[in-house]
Amino acid sequence: MKELREIIKAYDAAMHAGKKSALASVVHLNGSSYRRPGARMLVTDEGELTGAISGGCLEGDALRKALLALAQQQSKLVTYDTNDEEDATIGVQLGCAGIIQVLFEPVDPNNPNNPIQLLRKIIALRQKSVLVTLFSLEDKRNVQPGTCLLMEENGNISGTIPYPELNDAIMEDVQEAMRQQSSSFKNYAGKDFSVTAFIEFLQPAVSLVVVGAGNDAIPMMQIADIIGWEVRVVDGRSTHAKPERFVSACQVLVSKPEKVLEQIPIDEQTVFVMMTHNYNYDLAMLRALLQRKVTYIGILGPRKKLDRMLDELRNEGMQLSKEQLDRVYGPVGLEIGAETAEEIALSIIAEIRAVLTGNPGGSLRNKQDVIHSRAATFIGEKRLH
């Protein structure tokens, strides 16, 4: 989400300066690449780049293609084959070994549902959403419809499918993507046409709540802010919970533990890390959090501290289910040999990311399969009669 916010900010600045912009989006990938489908980059007519569609190897040629799309005011689909070591256009021996489809779309400021406006709606509210981008793989010289429709979790729909005969079929797959909470690719084939859809499921940014405003919370906030998470810090001590001690985007709350959850919206992307170094405050927060469906509750400190807290809650009469206990991580963080506050923050952030994505958090060299599943970019076929 951070990249989307930066793209929207750059677009608004370009508009204010009277510049034209094009959006470059990775819409499909066969094989390996530094960036996955959904990576985006804004290009202005003066060559300014915001965001990225690769690790740097494609951006030079992508700039030229974006400027061409702007000059012609026509969307273009470009294939980059990083398997080809003789391709001097993007450099030799890139090592990515993938075929990357990049869509270049001039942004029409007069269209209320242009790609930037749809992205703006995605980040405006903390809602799951599904974005539809249509392109033609069979004939790249054909019309490329581009980013055309957004469905939000509340059912609101922005934009339209430019092919009326495809509307029902695509909307059925959009709703399935929302139910499954996963992206997909689908080719819709009719008698006289064929078009491919990137049906992209998007989650809200991770919302990290650090309970405890000590010095060791500062690197937690900094790392989380760098990777685009929303950040809050909570403490009962006004002497510690001061906005000037944390990153500017951080919301700082001074509160008693039993009042904290009244002030913070909680969804599937909201995670808590307790590091007040105050046993009673942490215990009160744990008591409250275990009664809410929070995906991740991290407890700083040794295992015996957590065991004591859980024993106290049971003695109070709380019935703790396996589901509740599975959401508690203590001692918190991945085992990376962390000692300093910065290293501990890194291990905690990494563990949260692994938990939210359903990954084990081990070393990639021990993974038997490819880094990203090839099945995730399989293009399904739906024939229309």
Write down the pLDDT at residue 86: 57
Helices (H), 186-289: 217-226, 257-260, 279-289
SS3 assignment for 79-121? EEECCCCCCCCCCCCCCCCEEEEEEEEECCCCCCCCHHHHHHH
In a domain, 340, yes or no: yes
Token pair in block for residue 274: 């307790």
Among the three residues 177, 202, 227, which one is the final residue of a domain in this structure?
Answer: 202
Q: What is the pLDDT of residue 126?
A: 87
Of 142, 168, 202, the position where a domain reaches its end is: 202
CA–CA distance, 249 with 6 (Å, rounded to integer): 14
Q: pLDDT (tens digit, 9 = 90+) per residue, 222-250? A: 999 999 999 999 999 999 999 999 998 89
Identify whether the C-beta of residue 314 lies closer than 8 Å to the C-beta of residue 286: no
Q: Do residues 254 and 236 touch, judged by C-beta distance below 8 A?
A: yes
pLDDT at site 56: 80
Q: Which domain holds residue 276?
A: 207-363
Query: Do 121 and 13 share a structural domain?
Result: yes
- The answer to whether the CB of 274 falls within 8 A of the CB of 297 is yes
- DSSP-assigned beta bridge partners for residue 209: 232, 272
Q: Do both 240 and 270 map to the same domain?
A: yes
Position 195 in a domain: yes
CA neighbor of 60 nearest in space, from 41, 74, 77 = 41
Q: Are residues 170 and 223 in the same domain?
A: no
- Give yes or no for a contact between 336 and 346, defined as CB atoms under 8 angstroms apart: yes
From 160, 184, 202, give the residue that closes a domain.
202
The DSSP output letter for 373 is -
- The interaxial angle of helices 341-357 and 217-226, nearest 10 deg, is 50
pLDDT along the chain (385 residues), means of 10: 93 97 94 86 95 87 94 93 61 62 96 96 92 89 90 95 91 96 92 88 96 96 95 94 92 94 93 96 96 96 96 96 96 95 97 93 80 77 77
Burial zone of 260 (CB within 10 Å; 0-12 exposed, 13-18 middle, 19+ buried): buried
Q: Are residues 251 and 344 in the same domain?
A: yes
Distance from C-alpha of 43 to C-alpha of 60, rounded to nearest angstrom: 11
Residue 383 lies inside a defined structural domain of this protein: no
- What residues contact 139, with CB distance under 8 A and at least 6 apart? none
pLDDT of residue 95: 54
Q: Roughly how many angstroms between the first and final C-alpha of the chain, as a whole number?
A: 39
**CB-based burial of residue 265 (10 Å sphere; 0-12 exposed, 13-18 middle, 19+ buried)?**
exposed
Residues 138 and 254 in one domain: no
Q: Specify the pLDDT at position 380.
A: 85
Based on the domain organization, do 187 and 289 belong to the same domain? no
Residues 194 and 268 in one domain: no
Query: Do the domain assignments include residue 371?
Result: no
Assign residue 261 the CATH number of its domain: 3.40.50.720
Using alpha carbons, select from 318, 262, 265, 257 the residue that is nearest to residue 290.
318
Looking at the structure, tell me whether residues 56 and 169 fall in a common domain: yes
Separation of alpha carbons 132 and 148, rounded Å: 6
- For 340, counting Cβ atoms within 10 Å of its Cβ (0-12 exposed, 13-18 middle, 19+ buried), the class is exposed
- Determine, yes or no, domain membership for 124: yes
Is residue 123 located within the same domain as residue 213? no
172 and 146 fall within a common domain: yes
Specify if 252 maps to a domain.
Answer: yes
Report the predicted TM-score, pTM, of the whole model to 2 decimal places: 0.88
Whether 170 is in a domain gets the answer yes
Residues 98/82, Cβ–Cβ less than 8 Å? yes
Closest of 160, 23, 8 to residue 102, by C-alpha: 23
- pLDDT confidence of residue 373: 72
pLDDT computed for residue 385 by the predictor: 65
| Local structure of 214: helix, strand or coil | coil
| pLDDT given at position 338 | 95
Beta-bridged to residue 197, according to DSSP, are: 134, 186
The total domain count for the chain is: 2
Question: d(Cα 166, Cα 168) in Å, to the nearest integer?
Answer: 6
Cα–Cα distance between 66 and 58 in angstroms, integer? 12
The whole-number pLDDT of residue 92 equals 39
* Token duo for residue 75: 């969307």
Do residues 154 and 247 share a domain? no
Token pair 């600045």 in the structure block, residue: 13
Q: Is 219 found in the same domain as 172? A: no
CA 49, CA 38: separation in Å to the nearest integer?
Answer: 17
Cα torsion angle, 177, 120, 10, 203, sign: negative
Q: What is the pLDDT of residue 88?
A: 46
- Non-local (6+) Cβ contacts of 197 within 8 A are 132, 133, 134, 170, 173, 185, 186, 187, 188
374 inside domain: no
How many CB atoms lie under 10 A from the CB of residue 13? 14
